[in-house]
Structures are given as C-alpha cells and as structure tokens.
C-alpha cells in the first residue's frame, strides 16, 4: 500500500503551483499587455492607413521585399555553412560558430556603424562599388545588407540544429547504395531537415522585418516600417505613430503564425523520397 501524502506536502505543492502561476501570469502581462494596447488603439488606424496612407503602403512593401531578399541570400549562403558546422569537425570550428553569433550580441546601431565603415562611400569597397554605379548607403541594397547582417546568424543556428537532428547514417546508407555524397544530401538529408530549415528561414525573415538600429545608420531613406515609425514619432508624436506601429505588429504576426503552424505539424521527420 502507498501512503497518502502528508497534509503539509499537499499544501506545499499547492503554494508552489500558485506562485508559479502568479509569476507566469506577471510575465505574460508584461509581454502581451503593451502589444494588446497597441493593437487596440491603433489596429483600426493601421488597417485604414493601408488603404489611404501611400507612404505606409510603400514602406510595408519595401520592408517585406528587402526582408525576403535578405532571407533568400541568407538561405543560399548559410545552408552550406550550417551543414558544415553540423557535420564536420575542423580547426577553428568553435571560432567560426562564435563569430556567427557576434551580430546577435552587439548593439544594432553599432552593427550599422561597422557596416558603414566597410561599405560606406569613403571605404575601399564603397569606392569600388561606386565605379560600377552601385551604392550601399541610402539604397535598398543597404537595407538588405543590414537585415542580412543581423538576422542570418539566426538562420545558420537553426539550420545547423536541423541538420544535426538528421542521423548521418542515413547518408552513409544512401552512398553504399550508389548515391554520390551530393545526391545523398539532396535525396536524404534535405527532405528530413526541410521543416527545420523552413522554420529557421521564417525566423530570419521575422527578425529582418523588425530591424531598426542597423538600418537607420546605413539607410535612412528609403524608409522601412521601423524607420518610418520612428520618424513619425519624433516628428508628430505618439498619436501619429500608433497606426504605423500597429501595422508593423500585424506584419510580424504573419511569420509567427506560420512558425507555430510548422512546429505544431512537425511529426519528427519527413519520409525520404526515392
């Protein structure tokens, strides 16, 4: 026979549960109340702004397009690196992984200053690009570069974990059956890691959309939504910026919903295609 818990133990568990629920509720209030207040006050204005505010519509389109371009570049360049970090041990591997995390740790205005030093008009690279009629500062290319700098590490980190979850023995079996290493990677590893790669790309896109500090240093015009919201706040005050900020929150909800859908539908892997 099992003895029933003592009353003091039952009371102690109840107190711990109440404290845990209280702390969790306080955190949710801190996180959700400002966003809820913003949507409640500016949600309607943000929707109407999309209909009547040409500057806001152009800013939203610019933000979505440049974030998508930055994500595509990050996926193309970051996927091989993520696979290398997940599958290979080499000298300096920890240094490379640490360097990739650095943009996540430094203040983003500092990131913009660093990009300005390298790609500004007076820099060597900036002058070389200028001879071909290309410029980074004050252009959409600069927005893409700033977004890529601050968000690509998130994709590489997530993609590395996605590759690491795929058992390398699957690739080895495919190669024993006649596949080349590239064919085994394409037919076996990528399908199994696809959901994780897609989720990592969504996270990168969402981070790129929300970037402000690096962009405002490198490119003030044309304006992304984050820069537009700051300009309207400093120029016109809180009432004018609330609809713009609400529109940015709505835009950020799109990748959040997609990411949650990917995670909820994840069954732990995908079948290998023949």
**What would the pLDDT profile of 38-72 be if each residue is shown by its tens digit?**
667 665 655 565 567 788 888 889 999 999 999 99
Task: Tally helices (H) and strands (E) across the chain.
Answer: 12, 0
List of E strands, the chain = none
pLDDT of residue 50: 59
Structure confidence at residue 166 as a pLDDT band (50, 70, 90): confident
Quote the CA–CA distance of 146 and 151 in Å, as a whole number: 9
Helix 54-87 to helix 93-105 angle (10° resolution) is 160
Instruction: Please determine, for residue 142, whether its predicted confidence score (pLDDT) is greater than 90.
Output: yes
Q: How many CB atoms lie within 10 A of CB 60?
A: 23
Mean pLDDT of 230-239: 84
pLDDT of residue 48: 61
Mean pLDDT of 261-274: 52
pLDDT of residue 47: 59
pLDDT of residue 161: 92
Q: Which of 156, 154, 259, 170 is nearest to 208 (CA)?
A: 154
Q: Do residues 162 and 155 make contact, with C-beta atoms less than 8 angstroms apart?
A: no
In terms of pLDDT, which residue wins out, 167 or 72?
72
Quote the CA–CA distance of 190 and 80 in Å, as a whole number: 11
Q: At 273, is the secondary structure helix, strand, or coil?
A: coil
pLDDT of residue 77: 95
Helix 225-236 to helix 54-87 angle (10° resolution) is 140
| C-alpha angle 172-178-180 in degrees, rounded to nearest 5 | 70
Record the tokens describing residue 221, joined without a space: 């015009």
Quote the CA–CA distance of 186 and 192 in Å, as a whole number: 10
Mean pLDDT of 79-106: 86
pLDDT of residue 159: 94
Q: Do residues 104 and 113 make contact, with C-beta atoms less than 8 angstroms apart?
A: no
Quote the CA–CA distance of 115 and 133 in Å, as a whole number: 19
Q: How far apart are the first and last CA of the chain?
A: 56
Mean pLDDT of 110-136: 89
- The CATH architecture assigned to 10-265 reads Orthogonal Bundle (1.10)
- Tens digits of per-residue pLDDT, 201-225? 999 998 998 899 999 999 988 899 8
User: Ranked by mean pLDDT, which of 30-39, 158-167, 253-262 comes out on top?
Assistant: 158-167
Q: How many CB atoms lie within 10 A of CB 89?
A: 6
pLDDT of residue 54: 83
Helix H or strand E encompassing 49: helix 7-52
pTM, whole model, 2 decimals? 0.79
Q: Which of 63, 209, 217 is nearest to 136 (CA)?
A: 217
Structure confidence at residue 96 as a pLDDT band (50, 70, 90): confident
Q: Which of 199, 203, 192 is nearest to 263 (CA)?
A: 199
pLDDT over 70 for what percent of the chain?
A: 84
Q: How many CB atoms lie within 10 A of CB 5?
A: 11
Quote the CA–CA distance of 208 and 75 in Å, as a whole number: 13
């Amino acid at each position: 026979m099992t003895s029933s818990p003592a009353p003091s133990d039952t009371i102690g568990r109840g107190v711990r549960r109440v404290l845990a629920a209280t702390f969790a509720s306080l955190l949710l209030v801190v996180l959700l109340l400002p966003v809820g207040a913003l949507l409640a006050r500016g949600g309607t204005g943000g929707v109407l702004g999309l209909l009547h505010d040409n500057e806001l519509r152009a800013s939203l389109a610019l933000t979505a397009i440049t974030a998508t371009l930055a994500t595509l570049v990050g996926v193309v360049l970051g996927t091989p690196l993520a696979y290398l970090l997940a599958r290979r041990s080499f000298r300096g591997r920890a240094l490379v992984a640490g360097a990739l995390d650095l943009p996540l740790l430094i203040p983003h205005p500092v990131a913009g200053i660093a990009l300005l030093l390298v790609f500004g008009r007076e820099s060597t690279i900036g002058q070389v690009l200028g001879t071909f009629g290309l410029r980074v500062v004050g252009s959409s290319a600069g927005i893409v570069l700033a977004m890529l700098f601050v968000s690509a590490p998130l994709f590489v980190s997530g993609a590395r974990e996605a590759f690491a979850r795929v058992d390398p023995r699957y690739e080895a079996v495919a190669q024993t059956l006649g596949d080349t290493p590239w064919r085994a990677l394409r037919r076996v590893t990528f399908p199994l890691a696809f959901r994780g790669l897609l989720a990592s790309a969504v996270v990168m896109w969402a981070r790129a959309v929300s970037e402000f500090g690096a962009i405002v240093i490198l490119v003030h015009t044309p304006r992304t939504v984050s820069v537009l919201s700051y300009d309207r706040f400093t120029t016109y005050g809180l009432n004018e910026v609330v609809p713009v900020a609400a529109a940015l929150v709505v835009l950020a909800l799109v990748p959040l919903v997609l990411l949650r859908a990917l995670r909820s539908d994840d069954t732990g892997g995908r079948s290998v295609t023949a």
